[in-house]
Amino acid sequence: MGPFELMDLVGIDVGFEVAKSFEAQSFGEPRWRPSPLQARMVASGRHGRKTGRGWYEYGDGPHRPDDPPPPEAGGGGGTRLAIDGTSELAVELRRRAEAAGFDAREPGGFGGDEEPELVIDASVPARVSDLGADPAAARPVPTALLCADASLHSRGEPLAVGFHLLPPLAHVSLVELTRLPTTPDTSCKAFEQVFAKLGMHAEWVGDAAGLVLGRIVCQLVNEAAFAIGEGVGEPSDVDAGLTLGLNHPRGPVVWGRRIGSGHVLATIDGLFDELHDPRYRAAPLLRRAVASGCDY
């Protein structure tokens, strides 16, 4: 169940009152500012399942179509695929690509006449040289860039496709993709096919640091760091709350360790730098964990 179905199940009016209560008790903490969309839904009587309509319409039939099944992995056919990066995400992508039949290597692993046919740059954070690059020096090979700490449009590569994934990838069956008006349709189709051969359904979303799922999950991890740092609970308490109380597949502390604190902080900082919204403020405990290289 996604966040919008969950809001409909709980009641959008209930969630709105909780948000207002948190903001009042925190004396206006920006992280707890209620959403104007919530206020609009409540004012219009769209409270969720109990009123027959919320984010979804609840009638006799299903309120939304079933999620599509993931494509069957395989069919890489030896295509030369360079996957850049040293993070767990990059390592898992290379393994998954090799299992799907790609000739997947780090960029330096190709040489001579064996130039890569496609490039996936999964570096976290993005290399400084990539940001604000000269558009005239666009990469000659179709490239997908990980949108973790920066949006695609801020990367200065007008022909690239943007993507985002969160490790662990063992059970991941969806990848988020984004594009610019200048991104060639051929590149978009090429990476849809690449990720389909990796066993992933592709969803095209708006451009932003972390795209959609990365924004949601990294904010959960960041909020967990705030809670632990402020003495609300121990890491095990926070994880138990989300796994047992909200049926999450893993708690935010465990998830943050799998994603990597650097990836999480890069996404939060990327959202803050681009949107200048104080709700995207990194928890001091998260920032200290990255600086010290130690988990909390």
- DSSP annotation string for 42-57: HHTT--BGGGTBSSSB
Write the pLDDT tens digit of every residue in 230-286: 999 999 999 999 999 888 889 999 999 989 999 999 999 999 999 999 999 999 999
Write the pLDDT tens digit of every residue in 193-244: 999 999 999 999 999 999 999 999 999 999 999 999 999 999 999 999 999 9
Tokens of 121: 């740059």
Q: What is the pLDDT of residue 138?
A: 58
- Which amino acid, one-letter code, is at 38? Q
**Is the CB of residue 73 less than 8 Å from the CB of residue 57?**
no
Integer Cα distance of 129 and 133 in angstroms? 7
**Is the CB of residue 145 less than 8 Å from the CB of residue 121?**
yes
- Ordered domains of the chain (ranges, CATH): 3-51 (no CATH), 80-204 (3.40.50.720), 213-292 (1.10.1040.50)
Residue 112: HSE in the Cβ half-sphere, 13 Å Cα cutoff: 1
DSSP-based three-state secondary structure for 231: coil
Tokens of 256: 């943050």
Integer Cα distance of 240 and 77 in angstroms? 43
Cα 85 to its chain centre, rounded Å, is 17
Indicate the DSSP class of residue 34: P
Q: What is the pLDDT of residue 134?
A: 52
